[in-house]
């Protein structure tokens, strides 16, 4: 009996994002992640599935470092205790 070959959909369901029980995009949307954190999740999730593990981890780190830098550069709100009256 011939086996059916499974067609790979590289646009809608690429295999490096569709392993396990959920797709990476579903987690990103469900968690309401911003761009930078979404990229971190994407690169970490696909690292073992797309070819270059260390390269994808470095990409994730680049986005995480950028997010941290952006957060550190946001103006700090004064707390009510430190405000002069």
* Tens digits of residue pLDDT in 32-61: 999 999 999 999 998 988 889 999 999 999
Tell me how long the chain is: 85
pLDDT grade for 71, boundaries at 50, 70 and 90:
very high
68 with 40: CB under 8 angstroms? Answer: no
How many C-beta atoms surround the C-beta of residue 29 within 10 A?
Answer: 11
With vertex at residue 17, the alpha carbon angle to CA 8 and CA 12, rounded to the nearest 5 degrees, is 50
Tell whether 81 is covered by a domain: no
Tell whether 14 is covered by a domain: no
Tell whether 35 is covered by a domain: yes
Name the residue range of residue 66's domain: 24-70
Alpha-carbon distance of 67 to 11, in angstroms, equals 27
Number of H helices, E strands in the chain: 3, 0
């Amino acid at each position: 009996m011939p086996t059916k070959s499974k067609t790979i959909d590289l646009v809608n369901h690429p295999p490096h994002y569709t392993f396990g029980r959920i797709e990476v995009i579903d987690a990103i949307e469900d968690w309401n992640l911003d761009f930078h954190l979404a990229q971190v999740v994407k690169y970490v999730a696909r690292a073992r599935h797309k070819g270059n593990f260390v390269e994808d981890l470095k990409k994730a780190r680049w986005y995480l470092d950028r997010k941290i830098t952006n957060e550190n550069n946001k103006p700090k709100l004064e707390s009510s205790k430190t405000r002069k009256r």
